[in-house]
Structure 1
Amino acid sequence: MAQETQTVLQLVTQHEEQILTEWLQEAGSASTRLTDANRRAMRGEAEELLHALRKALQAGGDPDNFQQPAWAPLRQTLEGLSRSRAAQGQSAGDTSVFVLAFKRPLFAAIQRDLAGQADRQMAAVWTLSTLVDRMAQWTVTTYQQTREEIIKRQQQDLLELSTPVIKLFEGVLAVPMIGTLDSSRTQVVMETLLQRIVETGSRLAIIDITGVPTVDTLVAQHLLKTVSAIRLMGAECIISGIRPQIAQTIVHLGIDLQGIASKSSLADALELAMEQQGFVISRTRQGA
C-alpha cells in the first residue's frame, strides 16, 4: 500500500466520528431543503460511504484506478446512493455536492495530523482530491444511467397505456390507436393484442385508426405487419377509422390493403364483426 493511501486510511479510521460530523455540516450548509428526515438519511448515507471507503483502502485500492476490484464495494454504495436520490427526484448536482462535501473534513484532518510535514500533506491532499473527485463522477454517471432507465420505463408505460386492448364483445377485440404509429408502438400493439387473442380466444380484432393523424407508407407497413401477425394467430382483422383523406392517401401511395376489411367508423366495424360472428342486431321498440 502506498504511503499516501496508508495516510488516508489512518485518517478515516482514527477520526471517523469527527469526519462524519464535519461532513454532514458541510453538506447541510450546501443544501437548501434540509429536514430532520433528510439529516438522518444523510448520516446513514455518509456512514455507509465511509465504511465502504475504509474497506476499499484496506483492500489496497489505488485511487488512480477506480475500476479496480478493491473499489467495487464503494462503487456499489455510490450507485445505490445515486439511484436512491434519482428516484426521489433529486438532481445529479445535489448528489455530487454531497460527495464533494467529504473533502473539507478530510483536508482539515490532514492539516491537523500532518502539521509541519508539507510534502506528506501535499501528497495526501492530492490522493484524497483524486479519490473524492472520482467518487463524485461515479455518482453522476450512475445518476444519468438511472434517469435514462426511468425515462425508458416511463415511455414504455405510456406506450402500453396509449394502446389499450378492449374486449367489445364475445370473441371481438379492439385497439383504438391515437397519435403517431411508429415501430416501437407497433411492436407494443402486436405483443399486447396477440397476447389478448390467446387469453380470450377471440377470432376478430378491430384496429381503429380514427385518432391517427396521418397515414404514410411507413404507417401502412406497420398496419400490414400487425394484420399479418393477427392472421398467423388464427384470427381476422378489421381496420376502422378510414377517413376520406386517409383513403385518398392510401390510394395515392399505391398501398395494397386488398383482403383486409375496412370501415369508416368503429361502429360500422363492430357491426361487421358481429355479422361475421353470426349475430343479428335488431331494435325491439321504436325510440321516443
Structure 2
Amino acid sequence: MQSTALTYLQKYQNQIIEHWDHQLSALRSEVEIKASLEKAVEHTNQEYMSLILQTARRNEEDSLEGLKNFTEQYIQTGRSLTYFTRALQGLRQAFHQQLKDVPPEDANILDVYSELNQWIDNMNNFLVSKYIESWEDTLEMQKLSLLELSAPLIPVFEGITVMPLIGSIDTTRAKLIMENLLEGVIKNRSKVVLIDITGVPIVDTMVAHHIIEASEAVRLVGATSILVGIRPEIAQTIVNLGIDLTKFPTKSTLQKGMEKALEMCNQKKIEM
C-alpha cells in the first residue's frame, strides 16, 4: 500500500476497526449460529481483522503466510467463502465511512480511497485464490480416497479373490485397478481373481483394453483372472467392437465365476 493511504490507515485505525467491527457484527447476525459459538465467531472476526491490517503494513510473503494459514483453518470448519468476501466489503464500507467523517488533510481523498480499494481488491483476490486452492487439495484427496474404495480386492476363499467394479472406468481408475490387483494378488497369494463388471454401465474399446491389460498383468504374477458379470448387451457390444476376450475365462454371473474358480483351485462347493 502507498504511504499516503497507509499513513491515513494507521492514523485512524481504531476508528476504522470500530466501523468494520460493526459491519462484521451485522454479517454475523445474518448467519444462524448457536449461542455457544458466539465468542468463537467474535474471536475469528478479531483475528481476521488483525491479519488483514498486518498485510497493509507489510505486504510481503511472510505477512501473507499468516493469512493463508488462517484461511486453511477456516475452511476446515466448513464455513463458506461468503464470509471472506463480504467481510472485505465491510472493510471497504468502513474506509468509506471514515473518509466521509474525516477526509485526509494533505492528500486527495480520491487518491487515498483508490489506494485503499486496490489493497482490498488484492486481498480479496489472494483469499479467493487460497480458498480455491485449499478446496481443490481437499477434493483431490477425497477423489483419491473414493478411487481406492471403488476398486477393492476382496479375498473370499483360500486362493480366490474378487474385485467388484462399479461405475465408469477411466485411465486414472484403470491404473488404480491394476495396482490394487497386483498388490492384492501377491498379498493374498491368490490363484484366481474374479473381475466383476456387473456394475460397469458401459464397456467400450478403452474399458476392454484396460481389463485385458489388468488380466495379463495378473497372469504374469502367477494367477488367473476370470471376467464375470457380462450382460447380454455388453456381450453384443464386445462382439460388435471386435474385442478379443478369448485369452482368459469369462462368465455371465459371479456365481458361475465362483464355481469355475473353485474348480480351478481344486475346491468343492458344498450345498447348504
* Paired amino acid for 2:89: L
2:75 to 59, 83, 86: 86
Q: Cα 1:193–1:19, aligned 2, differ >3 Å: closer, same or farther? A: farther
CA deviation vs aligned residue, 1:70-125 (integer Å, no higher than 9, x gap)? x2134333433443343333333331121232233444555666544452x33222
1:179 pairs with 167, 170, 177, which one? 167
Regions of 4+ moved over 6 Å: none
In structure 1, C-alpha distance between the alignment counterparts of 2:246 and 2:131, rounded to whole Å? 51
1:21 CA displacement? 3.3
SS at match of 1:239: strand
Q: What is the deviation of 1:244?
A: 2.7
Give the partner amino acid of 1:21: E
Secondary structure, in 3 states, of the residue corresponding to 1:148? Answer: helix
Matched, 1:196 2:184: yes
Contact 2:148–2:176 (CA<8 Å) still a contact in 1?
A: yes
Contact 1:178–1:209 (CA under 8 A) maintained in structure 2: yes
Counterpart of 2:2 in structure 1: which amino acid?
A: T
1:65-144 aligned within 5 A: 71-109=60-98, 115-119=104-108, 121-144=109-132
Q: Secondary structure at the match of 1:209?
A: strand
Percent of pairs with identical residues: 30
Q: Do structure 1's residue 275 and structure 2's residue 263 form an aligned pair?
A: yes
Aligned residues: 266
Structure 1's unaligned 5+ residue stretches are 57-70
Asked if 1 retains the 8 angstrom alpha-carbon contact of 2:5 and 2:112, the reply is yes
Q: Aligned partners of 1:55 and 1:9: how far apart in 2?
A: 10
- In 2, Cα distance between equivalents of 1:97 and 1:251: 59
In angstroms, what is the RMSD of aligned CA positions? 2.6
Asked if 1:45 is matched to 2:48, the reply is: yes
CA drift of 1:136 comes to 0.7
Question: How far did 1:183 drift?
Answer: 1.9
Distance in 2 between residues matched to 1:18 and 1:171, nearest whole Å: 75
What CA deviation, in whole Å up to 9, does each residue of 1:258-283 have, x standing for no partner? 22111121122222222222223344
Q: Distance in 2 between matches of 1:174 and 1:81?
A: 45
Return 5+ residue gaps in structure 2 as ranges. none
Once the 2 structures are TM-superposed, how far is the Cα of residue 221 of structure 1 from its aligned partner? Answer: 1.1
Structure-1-length-normalised TM-score: 0.80
